[in-house]
Amino acid sequence: MASPLLARALETTTPAVSFPKGFYWGAATAAYQIEGAWNEDGKGESIWDRFAHTPGKIKDGTNGDVACDHYHRWREDIALMRRLNLNSYRFSIAWPRIQADGKGKPNPKGLDFYSRLVDALLKARIRPLPTLYHWDLPQKLEDAGGWTNRDLAGWFADYAEIMARALGDRVQYWSLLNEPAAFLSLGYLDGTHAPGRQSILDFLRGTHVANLAQGSGYRALKAVCPQARVGSVFSMSPCEPATDSKDDRVASEHAHAITNLWFLEPALRGRYPNAFLFSPAAFMQIHRDDMDRVRAPLDFIGINLYYRTVVSAPPLGERLSNARYMLLPARMTRGQKGSKTDIGWEVWPRSLYDMVMRITRDYQRPVLEITENGCAYNDGPGADGKINDARRVDYHQQNLAELARAMRDGADVRGYHAWTLMDNFEWAEGLSQRFGLVYVDFATQKRTVKASGEWYANVASRNAVPSL
């Protein structure tokens, strides 16, 4: 029986906003956040294993050793996807589960796990959309320099080739990297995520190696599977000037370049955008032929979007005293006018429309997929055991309305993936924030579909979203 919340939502389904036939309704996850089995069946240590095992790094003191135990419960989780009427599932492959040290012969048990997962998804008529790298770098590669070591681009290409040969006969869509701007800024510049470095030089060098890896991985996949559709996934946020002043407008364009284009422009146009006041090429150690190597004519662009960014130009005094502002003259903050999710992020559905349209205009209408969009609301079971997360229903309904508007205005969007399928280990937040359509009791591993999951299942079934 549908929950009262879902029943109310269904009452508003006329008129509804319809989506094109064949639109992908999906959910997204990441290996470290759900799989658990952190040291089973030949899996090597990742930087997130090391980081989460370090006292004080995770806010609630938890780690991903078990997480959602998806490694053992994947059949149950595919049954949940079928119940939600999904026809696409974006997941990631744990590199250290395939190559414990990030190099060398693949681990047969790791390959077998993902092969069985893909076969079961196809049997359930769910498109598998694997991401090759979603932040869990093999620790051995970090010990060798991590993303500041140029050799990593070649090791990533070798790994991409292994996966293409293992799954390419069944997987048609691939994502290369997940949010390189995020894993490098948080992991190498701010140090709040694995591996916990704090160095602007490491950040700059790492961004270039990641772009080399993106290009090399693209070619490795296409060499094995020429017909595959290969994209990459970028964290994006529309950068709005705080005021209409010229300085703030200029600052917002600098912010847009580093936030949204730093890994897209090299792939599609073989160049870095003008994010900084002066070229950081010398710090990035760009070699003679590198800008040809970073090129990757992506078949689709994945957009992960959670909030907008408000940008102002820092005063001259701050620019002179702060090394970051000397290089990037933009103060960036999350928007504050809208309501807040339980993690403190502003809800601003218009940001999805603005970002999709900006990329559509500036890159001649590329194929797009919304690969993540979601919200942390920590509602738990009521006395009846149901999770009536009305705010999450509102969030997805408003964001999907804006996405439909962008599509009417010319954007070529092929799919939408809610973050996330089920509550999981949310990086430095641990188990404290719940983004899922499915509630997970981490003590028992019991899964319960939330009201938002029921609502989303109805949307996917009808290929339409109730009007606001």
The DSSP secondary structure of 229-284, one letter per residue, reads: EEEEEEEE--EEESSSSHHHHHHHHHHHIIIIITTTHHHHHSS--S-SSS--HHHH
Q: Give the active site residue among 240, 369, 372, 426.
A: 372
Amino acid symbol at 114:
Y
Confidence at residue 12, expressed as pLDDT on a 0 to 100 scale: 47
Tokens representing 275? Answer: 């994010």
Mean pLDDT across 231-248: 98
How many other C-beta atoms lie within 10 A of the C-beta of residue 379?
A: 18
Confidence at residue 327, expressed as pLDDT on a 0 to 100 scale: 84
Which residue bears the tokens 């993303």?
A: 147
pTM summary value: 0.96
Give the C-alpha separation, 47 to 63, whole Å: 12
35 part of the active site: no
Do you find a cis peptide bond into 241, omega within 30 degrees of 0?
Answer: no
- Residue 328 domain-assigned? no
- Residue 333 domain-assigned? no
214 and 285 Cβ atoms separated by less than 8 Å: no
**pLDDT classification of 6: cutoffs 50, 70, 90:** low
- Residue 150 domain-assigned? yes
pLDDT at 11 over 90: no
**pLDDT classification of 326: cutoffs 50, 70, 90:** confident
- Helices 350-362 and 390-408: crossing angle in degrees, nearest 10, is 30
Confidence at residue 324, expressed as pLDDT on a 0 to 100 scale: 79
pLDDT at 13 over 60: no
The domain total for the chain is 1
| Cα 419 to Cα 30, 35, 140, 212, distances in angstroms | 10, 16, 30, 28
Give the C-alpha separation, 45 to 220, whole Å: 25
Do you find a cis peptide bond into 15, omega within 30 degrees of 0?
Answer: yes
374 and 306 Cβ atoms separated by less than 8 Å: yes
pLDDT at 10 over 70: no
92 and 130 Cβ atoms separated by less than 8 Å: yes
Please give the DSSP secondary-structure letter assigned to residue 148.
G
Confidence at residue 467, expressed as pLDDT on a 0 to 100 scale: 84
Mean pLDDT across 172-177: 98
Give the C-alpha separation, 72 to 98, whole Å: 17
Give the C-alpha separation, 184 to 190, whole Å: 9
Tokens representing 124? Answer: 């359930």
How many other C-beta atoms lie within 10 A of the C-beta of residue 80?
A: 19
Closest CA to 144 of 93, 195, 105: 195
Q: Report the Cα 429 to chain-centroid distance in Å.
A: 16
pLDDT at 416 over 50: yes
Domain range for 44 is 4-240+257-304+341-466
How many other C-beta atoms lie within 10 A of the C-beta of residue 77?
A: 21
**pLDDT classification of 257: cutoffs 50, 70, 90:** very high
- Residue 325 domain-assigned? no
Give the C-alpha separation, 186 to 392, whole Å: 26
Backbone angles phi, psi at 245, to 5 degrees: -70, 155
Mean pLDDT across 182-202: 97
Pairing, β 412-419 against β 367-374:
parallel
- Residue 249 domain-assigned? no
Between 120-134, 270-284, 335-349, 406-420, the lowest mean confidence (pLDDT) is in 270-284
pLDDT at 65 over 90: yes
| Residue 14's CATH number | 3.20.20.80
Mean pLDDT across 334-359: 98
Confidence at residue 120, expressed as pLDDT on a 0 to 100 scale: 98
- Residue 93 domain-assigned? yes
Mean pLDDT of the chain: 96
Backbone angles phi, psi at 176, to 5 degrees: -85, -75
**pLDDT classification of 153: cutoffs 50, 70, 90:** very high
> Which pLDDT tens digit goes with each residue over 433-462?
999 999 999 999 999 999 999 999 999 999
Confidence at residue 1, expressed as pLDDT on a 0 to 100 scale: 44
236 and 259 Cβ atoms separated by less than 8 Å: yes
- Residue 437 domain-assigned? yes
Pairing, β 367-374 against β 300-305:
parallel
- Residue 331 domain-assigned? no
179 part of the active site: yes
Closest CA to 128 of 102, 177, 93: 93
Could you tell me which residue, 18 or 14, shows the higher pLDDT? 18
SS3 149: coil
Give the C-alpha separation, 98 to 120, whole Å: 19
SS3 24: strand
